[in-house]
Amino acid sequence: MTAFPASIGRRRELGYGAAGIALVTAVWFILTYPFFVEVTEHRTYVSTGEMHTVRDPVTGEILKIERPYYSNVREVRRSALVNPPALDTPENTLRDAWELLTTRGPNPNLLEHIAYSCLRILLGFVISCSIAIPLGVAMGLFPRLRATIAPVVSFLRPLPSISWVPLAMIWLGAGELQKLAIVFMGSFSAALIYTLEATLKVDPNLIRAALNLGVGPQDLLIRVLLPAALPNILSGLKVVIAIAWTCVISAEIVGTQVGLGSLIWTSKETSNTAAVLVGMTCISSVVLLLDALFERLERRLVPWMFVGAQKEDA
Amino acid sequence: MSAAAVLQADCVTHRYGGITALRQIDLTIAEREFLVMLGPSGCGKSTLLNLFAGFEQPSEGRVLLRGDPIAKVEPRCGVVFQNYALFPWLTVAQNIAFGPSIKGIRSPEKIANLIRSVGIEGFGDLYPNQLSGGMKQRVALARTLANDPEVLLCDEPFAAVDAMTRQVLQEELSRIATSEAKTVLFITHSIDEAILLADRIVVLSSRPGRVKESLPNPLQRPRTQNMLLEPESRELKQYIWRKVREEVLMSLQDSSRAS
Ligand SMILES: Nc1ncnc2c1ncn2[C@@H]1O[C@H](COP(=O)(O)OP(=O)(O)OP(=O)(O)O)[C@@H](O)[C@H]1O
Ligand SMILES: [Mg+2]
């Protein structure tokens, strides 16, 4: 029996990946390429400036009038399968991206949009983690605390980040504090639950082994529980960062002119599809970049999770 | 009660909710004795070992270490777990040094000696999940020994290890237990393993577990695999097998009646 092959190798994977991206770009080109040419002709009066005199047949008056001249005008309109504002061409999108990158005008620069969104996320994420992680671990350790907080969290968890926007505006106005609050509320319950689960998942045998080797209850947290839970906490936080992104995009719908969320929403108001696409591409790229950075952090913090298992018998 | 008793279960009953795992069991393990416990699955062997380790407290009766009740997890009774329970975030050497480092003791020579005596030289800087099962169990044994326990409690430590490695590990454990004069309580399902290792073999009855049979092992030390083929040990093996079999059948009947 041949099982499904696990891998096709790194280089081939990159090759196929490039092909996938090329395919999507090609489809984009084809959809927006002006294949169709529409030609219309119509007669138009053209001024010649040439004057001549005629006698008015009724009054006998001599009039000076311009000789009329008519001309056939051909009008050529090019159109693609999909036209703006539904979809703009790749060239226009690139040009818009460049304009956004180089603008010094009253409108914010693309880098400012990116920087603002990143700062809001990082700050909100750091604040929510610095409360959620200790609380989650404590909930894992103390069943009474867990029982008290769990219902509140299960009430908060289903609320999408966008549902926090109205309350945040009423309480905090439309400033930066409101943006932070939305990121915080959107990511807090997820961070808390991932940390709690990671703590509860710690192998009780490890705790027994540590106690048996003489660890006192006061050292158990630092020496065993935290390192044992850390890998799962970190992989939970990776998901939380993605959630924080959706939060910041919701938060930037209103009350700000800067940020990637604001960029795509205001561009939509002006039917500027190219700028919307630029904004979306930036969101995706920044998320990918943050993911890559986070993985480097993980390799630093939990190196034992990245060494290959020689043989797993359990 | 003999003066040299190291571990003692005194009329111990242990229940998990409605399940009585052990009922009024008495067991004494003497100084330097290597006691191997056999019995059908679910008869309460692990439960008894966990009571001796102090992981749990008996519902009734007393468990004693040198006459003192075991009230909390007892570092003097070092446990070797079936699934190793190595700390994945520590390297092999750090795992072994864990017990001493808790007490603030750093003795690289001792760790190096242990690494040598369980045969894992050159693996000190690897993480546990870079090791095979047999290697992991060597590390776990070394980690427990590094803490200098008076008693070794082993719950089927070699069950998940392949047969070749198991043989080597049995010999090493036997040698270490003799040379370091340890008292050992060892749980296994393998009668061969019991005969190779034990000074005394105890067969527990089906649940709730009680001591059904306590047999001194007449086999000379040092022991080899070949000695298992001699008539004397084959007779012993058959005798033990009959006793265990009766209890296994009993527990199967119990469970079919229960379902
Ligand atoms: N934590 C627990 N909660 C509830 N019941 C338990 C618990 N641990 C053990 N038991 C029950 O107690 C009985 C004895 O279990 P124990 O693990 O001591 O058996 P064992 O002899 O070690 O079996 P095995 O040979 O399969 O390891 C079993 O019926 C088991 O179901
Ligand atoms: Mg067991």
Mean pLDDT within B158-171: 87
In this structure, is residue A288 part of a structural domain? yes
In this structure, is residue A103 part of a structural domain? yes
Distance between CA atoms of residues B57 and B64, nearest Å: 11
Distance between CA atoms of residues A258 and A265, nearest Å: 11
In this structure, is residue A29 part of a structural domain? no
Q: What does R_g of chain B's alpha carbons equal in angstroms?
A: 18
Determine the longest span between alpha carbons in chain B, in angstroms.
Answer: 57
In this structure, is residue A36 part of a structural domain? no
Question: pLDDT tens, B3-35?
Answer: 478 999 999 999 999 899 999 999 999 999 999
Residue in A205, A213, A313 nearest the CB of B102: A213
In this structure, is residue A228 part of a structural domain? yes
Q: A26 falls in which pLDDT band (50, 70, 90)?
A: very high
Is the pLDDT at B86 greater than 50? The verdict is yes
Contacts of A139 (CB under 8 A, 6+ apart): A145, A146, A149, A150, A192, A196, A199
In contact, A239 and A198? CB cutoff 8 Å: no
Q: How many domains does chain A have?
A: 1
In this structure, is residue A40 part of a structural domain? no
Going by alpha carbons, the residue nearest to atom 10 of ligand 1 is B16
The pLDDT of residue A162: 87
Is the pLDDT at A130 greater than 70? The verdict is yes
Question: pLDDT tens, B92-111?
Answer: 999 999 999 998 988 889 99
Is the pLDDT at A18 greater than 70? The verdict is yes
Q: Answer yes or no: do B85 and A213 touch at CB < 8 A.
A: no
In this structure, what DSSP letter does residue A223 have?
I
More confident residue, A5 or B72: B72
Is residue A251 exposed (0-12), middle (13-18) or buried (19+ Cβ within 10 Å)? buried
Question: To test the ligand 1 pocket, which listed residue (B23, B38, B43, B49) has its Cβ within 8 A of the most ligand atoms?
Answer: B43
Mean pLDDT within B167-186: 89
Ligand 2: centre distance to CA A151 (Å)? 37
Mean pLDDT within A173-202: 93
The pLDDT of residue B1: 45
Mean pLDDT within B116-135: 90
Q: B258 falls in which pLDDT band (50, 70, 90)?
A: low
* Domain harbouring A130, CATH code: 1.10.3720.10
A218 part of contact set with chain B, CB < 8 Å? no
* A 268-307: CB under 8 A from B: 302-305, 307
| Residues of chain B positioned with their CB less than 8 A from the CB of A208 | 53, 55, 73, 79, 81, 85
Best mutation target among A203, A207, A208, A212 (most B Cβ atoms within 10 Å) is: A212
Residues in B lying within 8 Å of A, measured between beta carbons: 53, 55, 73-75, 77-79, 81, 83, 85-89, 98-99, 102-103, 126-133, 143-144, 147, 160
Q: A193: how many CB neighbours lie within 10 A of its CB?
A: 20
Q: B259 falls in which pLDDT band (50, 70, 90)?
A: low
Question: pLDDT tens, A200-251?
Answer: 999 999 999 999 999 998 899 999 999 999 999 999 999 999 999 999 998 9
Going by alpha carbons, the residue nearest to atom 22 of ligand 1 is B46
A253 part of contact set with chain B, CB < 8 Å? no
Residue in A213, A311, A312 nearest the CB of B99: A213
Question: pLDDT tens, A89-127?
Answer: 888 888 988 888 888 878 888 999 999 999 999 999 999
Question: pLDDT tens, A296-310?
Answer: 999 999 999 998 754
In this structure, is residue A59 part of a structural domain? no
Going by alpha carbons, the residue nearest to atom 18 of ligand 1 is B44
Domain that holds residue A212: 90-313
In contact, A149 and A131? CB cutoff 8 Å: no
The pLDDT of residue A311: 41
| Residues of chain A positioned with their CB less than 8 A from the CB of B75 | 211-214
Question: pLDDT tens, B192-217?
Answer: 999 999 999 999 988 888 898 899 98
A90 part of contact set with chain B, CB < 8 Å? no
In this structure, is residue A161 part of a structural domain? yes
| Residues of chain B positioned with their CB less than 8 A from the CB of A304 | 88-89, 127-129
Q: Which two tokens stand for residue A281?
A: 């591409």
For residue B44, which atom of ligand 1 is closest to its CA? 18
